[in-house]
Chain A
């Protein structure tokens, strides 16, 4: 399969990259690992005239930890680096775990943090070759006016299937977004529109440059549970991230729960976070949290397996993620919130 024509631009600094994006805007796409973008281009889903390659920008590839300010990770940090980084394994292990479950080693070697966070939403009717899609009317995500998944559907329900987003959301992460002349820091959840057709809030001239995790998260423990049929390669059919901190032996100080693959964006299950806080961990409580996750998960039949099964698995994986996060956590006196 051949790539369509494009001009390849290789800026050597972030400033240069932002200049190019400001100039070319909608005609350009950034390329990091390329493992998603190039496939979409081969399928004729995207045809940018310019690719702005971020690979040679050293200022985007770093991991910096400060006990007070927290963890900062550059956008172009490879998944493989997230897996092996001592500071991440030590203090933010859920991120390491989530990264280790993405695809398989060679793709972890190519894929990046930002690339995974900014994954386009997916659908079996969308991620297809041009020939395949020509056999049916255009769907919402490709600029048409129908949905092939839900007959009579009014909007795109393509699924967000990134593995890192729920882990980072549960850690309370923020992202730094830059464009020429300015930058802003927003909670990770604000990166996502919640819409299948255009899932990211990033403008054409903006780039995600950094992920920030608060220092307090280092005192938490987390687990990411991923449902897939094979032991490698596959996107999640359901993903659940749970992060907890302990107060004493039996009590949850704080907890966060986030989901992926069950909606058009990753979901922070705020309900669960609220009622888990300050509670003793019991089976009933865990089941309640699982119920809260189930309520906000709305998988449809667009990524394989079957949606009602996947929805049930949200409960099962939530219970396991919370239990594992709990087992991995250490008792801290006097809470741990900053």
Chain B
């Protein structure tokens, strides 16, 4: 295969047509015959014991077909990890946050369901509640879970080298605290679930999700049903960003009601419920102590992170580790101590978010600039000196097989005009840099790998069957592009069956940044396997060796004499007649240390590979109002290899909105105790078209040896590095460091006033 026909080219995605014409179906668009409408009764208290629930009047209401409470469940506690099983998805004993699911009804129409909720009587014994992690950790604070002393959910301690010695030998040491308030995914599609139940008790589930297999297994555990009876179907998902992965009460509740009523049940959340009763992103307090040598290279790092986890663990161990991992994945840290604490509070559950942790990412990225200034080193140079390179080993033992970080830093600096602008723009204008490394896939046990299959039609078309999940980023199209390229077919000749827990083999889902590296590798392996089978059959038919043959445009041809060819369909038919039908199979499990564990053993190969990026942001600060406008973003991302450059750019640009303008400047929750004051799309400020800068995305290709065609990942980038770039640019513009995210105008103004006093 000399030149790729499809891979590496900008191609329209296979799912765009349906989405452009309104044909794409999302969960709330679906209806089934005799479908019931569900509504959930939620706790108005942040912390209370449930003494009694009387749902009898609701059950008797005409049109109500199912009512469920915590008593209808098997009482199984669920957790992403065996040691985090703390959530009974329809709570039985206690409510632990405002908005928690207490009971639910399914009725002939929505109006009856709403009326029925009013008829359910719940006796609560209100308990004292706690809303901040520092308060929750104190002696005497209300205990949210029996098993968690001082409400500490997870503690991740990591120690590498000798931190004390490192600080002693450091030329310069800085300590800073960075603070980050909560924020939220705010996917445009609100949460919804539809569950169908037949008389044999088989369940079919549609819900926006990043992993049907994860949802199916969790439901199977909770309902005590085998996986053969729990089928999570493929559905269009309106954005995930990390907030559609683990199991949510909604799926469980809808399933319980569908089983009870033996009819389909649809549950569609309001936007407010989507904010409060699914997942949110952690708030953080980050203390960074950093020691460097004279040349600015890190000698010692001490990182302490306290995270508000909300009422239940969700992906606690992962969330608590990521604040450390993203730093060891970017820079060389010879001596580092990390202590991450995830703390329970009586607030909604926090999970993994694409823009993970403004505080620590913005924090170390800004502290770097602070140190650079104190030492008289240019910030780009400072990063280049600390940047990891191909062949390096990270602090806790992951080897890096491909690394374009230095190139990304250099390209971002060059294309943005860094040298001409840094420190030289007029007051109010500034430029700043951010950089990041990101794990691609991580240990998920059996779920960390993917497998795929291919079948062929007698007229030459094919179907690829893969567990890959596309929540909007283009994963479906990517693997079809790869399979079609390998087989010399057009993309429209390769159908895709994906993301169905009954039909498609296990896959990690659109999670841990692994689709290009793991799912696509498996799909590629399946296509290559099929290709070999086709070439074997064709070699007999063309009287050639396999090495002499190639595939193009649906034909098998002799490379040296292309006029010697047969249509692929002929090979497929011959294979059928010979009883050796072409069936491709392939799988991929990243080469990680499977004994590595987030809490108990955070050492060893963390991921199959790592992507890297750098970004430069230009800002304009109105010093009278404190308002910050990002005018220009130039950045480079080492995605390994861009399977579809247009899709990669789309991811980079999108991350500038969510991580940059959004998460850095606009997005935050307002809380009053356990109530979120701005659980609406008007009051929670997501960036609009007029808020966005001009973006120049640059693709760097380090050609990973394991990745399919060298590909790694492209989904995070700006959502990991923009905080630093903007924070640093504000310093360049007006000379103040804001260590409290989001950087809203009032904080900038306060910092300027403070500085002017001195």
Q: Is the CB of A309 within 8 A of B746?
A: yes
Q: List 5 A-B contacts (CB under 8 A).
A: A229-B627, A229-B685, A230-B687, A233-B682, A233-B688
CA distance A125 to B679 in the complex (A): 11
Residue among B42, B110, B666, B677 with most chain A CB within 10 A:
B677
Q: Which residue of chain B lies nearest to A320 when distances are taken between CB atoms in the complex? A: B624
The stretch that binds B, out of A77-85, A126-134, A175-183, is A126-134
> What is the chain A residue whose CB lies nearest that of B117?
A131
Contacting pair A135 B683 (CB below 8 A): no
Q: Which of A230, A304, A316 contacts B688 (CB 8 A)?
A: A230
Q: Could you tell me if A229 and B666 are in contact, using CB atoms closer than 8 angstroms?
A: yes
Residues of B within 8 A of A227 (CB): 625
Return the chain A residue nearest B668 by Cβ. Answer: A304
Contact of B272 among A2, A129, A229, A232 (CB under 8 A): A129
| Residue A306 at the chain B interface, CB threshold 8 Å | yes
A136 lies within 8 A of B666 (CB):
no
CB distance from A281 to the nearest CB of B (A): 19
The residue of chain B having its C-beta at the shortest distance from the C-beta of A307 within the complex is B746
* A309 B678 Cβ-Cβ under 8 A: no
Could you tell me if A135 and B690 are in contact, using CB atoms closer than 8 angstroms?
Answer: no
Closest 5 pairs (CB-CB, A-B): A231-B690, A309-B746, A135-B44, A124-B677, A316-B624
The interface bits of chain B over 193-211 (1 if a CB of A lies within 8 angstroms of the residue's CB, else 0) are 0000000000000000000
> What is B's interface to A at a CB cutoff of 8 Å?
42, 44-45, 98, 110-111, 114, 270, 272, 624-627, 665-666, 670, 672, 675, 677-679, 682-683, 685, 687-691, 744-746, 749-750
Is A129 a contact of B270 with CB atoms below 8 Å? yes
Residue from A104, A233, A313 within 8 A of B625 (CB atoms): A313
Tell me the nearest residue of chain A to B676, going by C-beta: A132
Are B745's CB and A232's CB within 8 A? no
Kindly provide the distance from the CB of A87 to the nearest chain B CB, expressed in whole angstroms. Answer: 28
Does chain B have a CB within 8 A of A195? Answer: no
The answer for the CA separation of A132 and B670 in the assembled complex, in Å, is 14
Whether A304 contacts B678 in the complex (CB less than 8 A), given A229-B685, A230-B685, comes out as yes
Question: Nearest Cβ in chain A — how far from B278, in angstroms?
Answer: 15
Contacts of B672 in A (CB 8 A): 125, 148
Residue of B nearest to A1 (CB): B270
Most chain B Cβ neighbours within 10 Å, of A1, A136, A232, A309: A309
B682 touches A309 (CB 8 A): no
- Which of B45, B625, B690 has the most A CB atoms < 10 Å from its CB? B625
CB distance from A139 to the nearest CB of B (A): 12
B691, A231: Cβ atoms under 8 Å? yes
CB distance from B34 to the nearest CB of A (A): 21
Q: B749 to A312, Cβ gap below 8 A?
A: yes
**Given the contacts A233-B682, A234-B682, A136 and B675 also touching, CB distance less than 8 Å:** yes
Are A2 and B110 also in contact (CB < 8 A) when A230-B691, A232-B690 are? yes
Residues of A within 8 A of B750 (CB): 309
Of B270, B689, B744, the residue contacting A229 (CB under 8 A) is B744
Q: Which of B625, B665, B746 makes the CB contact (< 8 A) with A316? A: B625
Contact A135 B682 (CB under 8 A): no
Given A230-B688, A234-B682, are A305 and B270 also a contact pair (CB < 8 Å)? no
Within 8 A of B (CB), among A300-324: 304-306, 309, 312-313, 316
Q: How far is the CB of B286 from chain A (nearest CB, A)?
A: 23
A2 to B114 alpha-carbon distance, docked (Å) = 10
B114 proximity list for chain A (CB < 8 A): 2
Is A304 touching B44 in the complex (CB atoms < 8 A)?
Answer: no
A124 touches B683 (CB 8 A): yes
Q: Which residues of B contact A125 (CB under 8 A)?
A: 672, 677
Chain A interface residues toward B at CB < 8 A = 1-2, 104, 124-125, 128-129, 131-132, 134-136, 148, 227, 229-234, 304-306, 309, 312-313, 316
**CB contact between A135 and one of B45, B666, B670, B746 (< 8 Å): that residue:** B45
Known contacts A131-B272, A132-B272, then 6 further A-B pairs from the complex at CB < 8 Å, ordered by chain A residue: A1-B270, A124-B677, A128-B272, A131-B44, A135-B98, A231-B688
Q: For residue A229, which residues in chain B have a CB less than 8 angstroms away from its CB?
A: 627, 665-666, 685, 744-745
User: Are B690 and A304 neighbours in the complex by a CB distance under 8 Å?
Assistant: no
Q: State whether A132 touches B682 (Cβ < 8 A).
A: no
CA distance A100 to B682 in the complex (A): 18
A185 to B44, CA, bound (A): 47
Contacts of B624 in A (CB 8 A): 316
A306 and B746 in contact (CB under 8 A), knowing A1-B270, A2-B110, A230-B691? Answer: yes
**At the interface, is chain A mostly helix, strand, loop or mixed?**
loop
- Bound together, the chains give a CA A231 to CA B272 distance in angstroms of 23
Q: Which residue of A lies closest to B270 (CB)?
A: A1
Q: Looking across the interface, which residue of chain B has its beta carbon closest to that of A319?
A: B624
Q: In angstroms, how far is the closest chain B Cβ from the Cβ of A53?
A: 23
* Assembled-state Cα–Cα distance A335/B670 (Å): 50
Which A residues touch B690, using CB under 8 A? 230-232
- Report the separation of the CA atoms of residues A232 and B272 in the bound assembly, to the nearest whole angstrom: 21
Which residues of the partner chain A approach B110 to less than 8 Å between Cβ atoms? 2
Are B675 and A132 in touch, CB under 8 angstroms?
yes
Question: Inside 8 A of A234's CB, which chain B residues have their CB?
Answer: 682, 685
* Complex Cα–Cα for A135 and B687 (A): 30
Return chain A residues, CB-CB under 8 Å to B665.
229
Point out the residues of chain A lying under 8 angstroms from B677, CB to CB: 124-125
* Closest chain A residue to B672, Cβ basis: A148
Contacts of A306 in B (CB 8 A): 746
On chain A, the residues within 8 Å of B746 by CB distance are 305-306, 309
Q: Which residues of chain A come closer than 8 Å to B626, judged between CB atoms?
A: 309
Measured between C-beta atoms, what is the minimum distance from B686 to chain A in Å? 8
Across-interface contacts of A134 in B (CB, < 8 A): 44
A35 to B689, CA, bound (A): 21
CB-nearest residue of chain A to B692: A231
List A contacts of B272 (CB < 8 A): 128-129, 131-132
Q: Which residues of the partner chain A approach B98 to less than 8 Å between Cβ atoms?
A: 135
Bound-state CA distance A227–B627 (Å) is: 10
CA distance A134 to B98 in the complex (A): 11
B45, B679, B683, B691: the one contacting A304 at CB < 8 Å is B683
Are B675 and A135 touching (Cβ within 8 A)? yes
A132, A232, A306, A313 pick with most chain B CB within 10 angstroms: A132
Question: Given the complex, which residues of A lie within 8 Å of B42, measured CB to CB?
Answer: 131
Docked complex Cα distance between A276 and B272 (Å)? 47
A135 to B276, CA, bound (A): 14
User: With A and B bound together, what is the CA distance between A104 and B681 in angstroms?
Assistant: 14
Query: What's the least CB distance linking B44 to chain A, in Å?
Result: 4
CB distance from B479 to the nearest CB of A (A): 37
Q: Assess whether A132 is in contact with B679, with CB atoms less than 8 Å apart.
A: yes
Residue of B nearest to A309 (CB): B746
Q: Give Cα distance in the complex from A231 to B690, angstroms.
A: 6
User: Which A residues are CB-close (under 8 A) to B691?
Assistant: 230-231
Residue pair B666, A230 in contact (C-beta under 8 Å)? yes
Note all chain B residues with C-beta closer than 8 A to A233: 682, 688
* A68 to B122 Cα, complex, angstroms: 68
Closest to B110 in A: A2
- Asked if A2 and B111 sit within 8 Å, CB to CB, the answer is yes
Among B44, B627, B678, B688, the residue within 8 A (CB) of A124 is: B678
For A136, give the chain B residue with the smallest CB separation.
Answer: B675
Q: Which residues of B contact A129 (CB under 8 A)?
A: 270, 272
Q: Bound complex: CA of A128 vs CA of B624, how far in Å?
A: 33
Q: How far is the CA of A230 from the CA of B746 in the complex (A)?
A: 14
Question: How far is it, in angstroms, between the C-alpha of A41 and the C-alpha of B429 when the chains are bound?
Answer: 46
Q: Which residues of A contact B685 (CB under 8 A)?
A: 229-230, 234
A288 → B minimal CB distance (Å): 17
Please give, as numbers and ranges, the residues of chain B lying within 8 Å of A312 by CB-CB distance: 749
In the assembled complex, the Cα of A306 lies from the Cα of B747 at a distance in Å of 10
How far apart are A98's CB and chain B's nearest CB, in angstroms?
A: 17
- B residues near A305, Cβ cutoff 8 Å: 744-746
A128 to B99, CA, bound (A): 14
Q: Could you tell me the distance between the alpha carbons of A227 and B624 in the complex, rounded to whole angstroms?
A: 12
Q: Give CA–CA (A227, B749) in the complex, Å.
A: 14
- The distance in angstroms between the C-alpha atoms of A221 and B183, with both chains bound, is 42
Kindly list chain B residues whose C-beta atoms are within 8 Å of the C-beta of A135: 44-45, 98, 675
Known: A230-B685, A316-B624. A309 touches B270 (CB 8 A): no
